[in-house]
Chain A
Amino acid sequence: MVEWTDFERATIKDIFSKIDSGVVGPAALSRCLVVYPWTQRYFGKFGNLYNAAAITSNPNVSAHGKVVLEGLTLAVQNMDDIKATYAELSVLHSEKLQVDPDNFRLLADCLTIVVAAQMGKDFTPEVQAAFQKFLAVVVSALGKQYH
């Protein structure tokens, strides 16, 4: 089981109370599709992903960005058992969506950068460490049911 310090718990809850999932989710997903274009392989049905402008303004990307971020709040509410909380989501991503789990790490990196851009001075090295640890646990949980 993952051990969280009081600082880490408080930091994660604080970050998620401050960020607007309607902004951060879409920004992180669209950034991922631009910076790591091979991730577009999972979004063939989303329409125009031809260039950065098209991706950023694509309504399917925005909608899905919000879905992803809402999925993360599930982990925030269940920090002491993220692995069990995400068991079904892991099966979904592995068997139905067939996403290479390395992509979770790429999206996590983009999310970290988007949150860093939003939070300015408040995104201290210690806050960054807590946030990246949280995302690493999420990424690991999402990959757990792959076989």
Chain B
Amino acid sequence: MSLTDKDKAAVKALWSRISKSADAIGADALSRMLVVYPQTKTYFSHWADLSSGSAQVKGHGKTIMGGVALAVAKIDDLTNGLLDLSEKHAFQIKVDPANFKILAHCLLLVIANLFPADFTPEAHVSMDKFLGNVALGISERYR
């Protein structure tokens, strides 16, 4: 399900509305993921504090959104644009790719929660496709 020009325009338009809240979105999405899908906590056993307000959760949420921002910038060639991130996830972090869908759902939910007027069904479908393609880009180097 590759991105049409309409999808790319929708993603960029939505991003321009939400990007100033990127840190908050990332922190909220990550903390929701850890609460709603407890199995994801297995990747963070090295953190002292997994609770919603913790410095580690906030910091990592910011890191994740940095990746999303990069993906928006490289939307015309996600495979190449995300190669470094893919190598990191494949060889260093080794996140099971099934978890990308879980995080994507949490991101979409937080955007809907914070920006209900902007997160129309059309914005939703384009953003869902975009995050799916980001997941593919990050999985590129896995095997």
Q: Which of A40-48, A77-85, A92-100, A110-118 contacts B (4 or more CB under 8 A)?
A: A110-118
Q: Is the CB of B122 within 8 A of A34?
A: yes
* A5 and B76 alpha carbons, distance in the complex (Å): 47
Q: Is the CB of B112 within 8 A of A113?
A: yes
- What residues on B are CB-neighbors of A126 within 8 Å? 35
Residues of A whose CB lies within 8 Å of any CB of B are 30-31, 34-35, 52, 55-56, 109, 112-114, 116-120, 123, 125-126, 128-129, 132
- What residues on A are CB-neighbors of B110 within 8 Å? 116
Q: Is the CB of B116 within 8 A of A35?
A: no
- What residues on B are CB-neighbors of A113 within 8 Å? 108-109, 112, 119, 124
Task: Knowing A30-B121, A116-B112, say if A35 contacts B32 (CB, 8 Å).
Answer: no
Residue pairs across A and B with CB atoms within 8 Å: the count is 51
Q: Interface range on chain B: under 10, 10 to 19, 20 to 34, or 35 or more? A: 20 to 34
Task: Knowing A112-B109, A120-B113, A123-B113, say if A128 contacts B122 (CB, 8 Å).
Answer: no
Q: How many Å from the CB of A42 to the closest CB on chain B?
A: 18
Q: Is the CB of A125 within 8 A of B36?
A: yes
Q: Is the CB of A128 within 8 A of B124?
A: no
Q: Is the CB of A109 within 8 A of B121?
A: no
B31 at the interface (CB under 8 A from A): yes
Closest B residue to A114 by CB, please name it.
B112
Which one of B35, B113, B121, B122 contacts A116 once the chains associate, using CB atoms below 8 Å? B113
